[in-house]
């Protein structure tokens, strides 16, 4: 890829070309009407790769090409131009990206020190009159010189004679080219742009028994890049792409949609790409600037799910004496899903928001809760928190604490679980025990999940109360 340097937008590329050639020239212009194809790859990190081809008629020799209808958030350092007819016939000498777009303030700033017309309504004659003035300053308000007088502001409107050089109506790339092949050429341009992003959303409908769910995955694309993409080949990349943090530059640019129908056919083909996953839409699509678009990623019916009741402790409980009486411990409700083909899934799932609905006794869908899931490979399981259990109460009490040595403590805990539901449940009690620890005594068996995490699986019958007691020695 050719590396370029940027020059200030106020420097006219046409003037630069004249100096290079010692003659006169006008820029050749390519707009969206020349476009033959466009491919758009969007990363879920506010980044897109654009590759477009245009058929452009170019004269032979040194010339200037103005390339319009590009994003206002383009990264000029990533632009690459080449001829698909004969690569060696076209050489890039210099590139500019003009993004200093027309605005009222910028127009006035360009006319400081120049003549303008002030048009105002004469209250006596009731007719519009014009007076010529010199714009002296725009800082803190407009200052004019009218004749030999200085006017701090003026009731009339300001009329300018032209759009000054250095301002553009829309973003454009300019190239100074050395072209050896006269006539029509297919040009390919690739670049990175920010201001375009996508995210995954998952909508799940839980069955009455909380054992199965119908799951729809969709992607939401938001385009704020400053350009539209017509009938584009669309690809989405899921994964964490490493990017260098650049020095921050001034910003140059700048409703949730209904879920797709459960019966719709998935539109994306998934495949591995480097250390990421690539999702390619099976048709062309148009993405307009400042548009949000939602597309179906997949749908899966009757996906097995496990409902978990989870009580989680805190590692700092073990280092000192704590009075936990009166502190209500919340039992979280989670759904656990295994992303396997036999569970009617098996596609790598991009990170996104997972929303769960369930029908009430009248058959009306009600919102049950939502959580975020991370990128989940196939054959892996993921867990989402729906909320806290209303009818499952829990209390944790430190019944004893002893400091045996400077860095050796013994703590005794009692965890009380009460099930006020109309069904039997199991509660997972997870305790993160720090340091080098040793279990001294316990009323229930436990599983060592990690070096510093144990889990009690506690059956609690409906309407019943169960107490879990244990003593642990911790060495820091």
Cα–Cα distance list, 254 to 48, 70, 152 (Å): 16, 14, 32
Tell me how far apart the alpha carbons of residues 195 and 74 are, in angstroms, rounded to a whole number: 9
Following CA atoms 152, 157, 163, 169 in sequence, which dihedral angle do they give, to the nearest 10 degrees?
110
Q: Which residues of the chain have pLDDT under 70?
A: 1-26, 99-103, 163-169, 243-266, 326
Q: What is the pLDDT of residue 107?
A: 73
Domain covering 104-159: architecture: Roll (2.30)
Tell me how far apart the alpha carbons of residues 260 and 20 are, in angstroms, rounded to a whole number: 57
Q: What is the pLDDT of residue 341?
A: 93
Instruction: Give pLDDT tens digits for 287-330.
Output: 999 999 999 988 999 999 999 999 999 888 888 888 877 677 89
Instruction: Give pLDDT tens digits for 181-218.
Output: 999 999 999 999 999 999 999 999 999 999 999 999 99
Q: What is the pLDDT of residue 276?
A: 77
CA quadruple 369, 374, 377, 380: dihedral positive or negative? negative
**Beta-strand (E) ranges in 207-275?**
212-223, 229-238, 268-273
Count of alpha carbons within 13 Å of 307, Cβ hemisphere only?
19
Q: What is the pLDDT of residue 263?
A: 44
Q: Which residues contact 149 (CB under 8 A, 6 or more apart)?
A: none
Q: What is the pLDDT of residue 129?
A: 83
**Beta-strand (E) ranges in 69-195?**
80-83, 90-98, 115-121, 128-137, 143-146, 149-152, 157-159, 172-179, 183-194
Tell me how far apart the alpha carbons of residues 315 and 326 are, in angstroms, rounded to a whole number: 19
* DSSP-derived secondary structure letter, 101: B
pTM, entire model: 0.71
Sketch the domain layout of the chain as residue ranges.
13-101+167-193, 104-159, 197-229+239-300, 306-475
Q: What is the pLDDT of residue 356?
A: 96
Q: What is the pLDDT of residue 120?
A: 79
């Amino acid at each position: 890829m050719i590396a370029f340097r940027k020059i200030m937008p106020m420097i006219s590329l046409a003037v630069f070309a004249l100096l290079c050639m010692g003659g006169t020239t006008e820029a050749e212009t390519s707009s969206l009407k020349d476009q033959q194809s466009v491919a758009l790859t969007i990363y879920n990190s506010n980044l897109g790769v654009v590759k477009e081809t245009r058929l452009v008629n170019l004269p032979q020799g040194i010339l200037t090409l103005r390339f319009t209808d590009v994003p206002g958030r383009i990264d000029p350092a990533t632009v690459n131009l080449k001829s698909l007819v004969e690569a060696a016939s076209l050489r890039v000498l210099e590139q500019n990206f003009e993004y200093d777009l027309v605005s009222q303030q910028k127009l006035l700033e360009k006319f400081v020190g120049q003549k303008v017309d002030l048009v105002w309504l004469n209250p006596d004659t009731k007719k519009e009159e014009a007076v010529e003035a010199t714009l002296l300053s725009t800082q803190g308000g407009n200052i004019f010189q009218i004749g030999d007088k200085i006017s701090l502001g003026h009731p009339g409107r300001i009329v300018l004679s032209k759009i000054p050089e250095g301002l553009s109506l829309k973003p454009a790339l300019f190239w100074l080219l050395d072209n050896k092949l006269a006539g029509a050429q297919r040009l390919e341009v690739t670049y990175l742009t920010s201001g375009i992003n996508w995210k995954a959303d998952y909508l799940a409908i839980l069955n009455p028994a909380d054992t199965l769910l119908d799951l729809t995955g969709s992607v939401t694309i938001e385009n704020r890049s400053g350009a539209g993409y017509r009938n584009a080949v669309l690809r989405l990349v899921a994964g964490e792409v490493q990017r260098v943090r650049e020095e921050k530059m001034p910003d140059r640019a700048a409703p949730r949609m209904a879920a797709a129908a459960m019966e719709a056919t998935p539109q994306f083909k998934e495949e591995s790409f480097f250390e990421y996953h690539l999702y390619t839409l099976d048709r062309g699509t148009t993405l307009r600037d400042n548009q949000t678009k939602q597309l179906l990623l997949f749908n899966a019916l009757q996906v097995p799910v496990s409902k978990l009741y989870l009580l989680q402790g805190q590692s700092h409980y073990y280092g000192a004496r704590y009075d936990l009486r009166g502190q209500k411990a919340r039992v979280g409700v989670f759904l656990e899903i295994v992303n396997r083909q036999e569970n009617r899934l098996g596609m790598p799932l991009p990170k996104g928001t997972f929303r769960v609905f369930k029908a009430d006794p009248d058959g009306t869908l009600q919102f049950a809760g939502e959580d975020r899931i991370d990128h989940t490979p196939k054959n892996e399981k993921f867990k989402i928190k729906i909320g806290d259990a209303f009818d499952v109460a829990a209390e944790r009490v430190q019944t004893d604490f002893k400091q045996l040595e400077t860095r050796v403590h013994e703590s005794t805990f009692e965890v009380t679980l009460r099930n006020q539901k109309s069904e039997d449940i199991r509660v997972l009690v997870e305790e993160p025990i720090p340091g080098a620890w040793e279990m001294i005594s316990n009323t229930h068996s436990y599983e060592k999940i990690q070096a510093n995490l144990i889990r009690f699986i506690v059956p609690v019958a409906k309407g019943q109360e169960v107490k879990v007691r244990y003593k642990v020695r911790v060495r820091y």
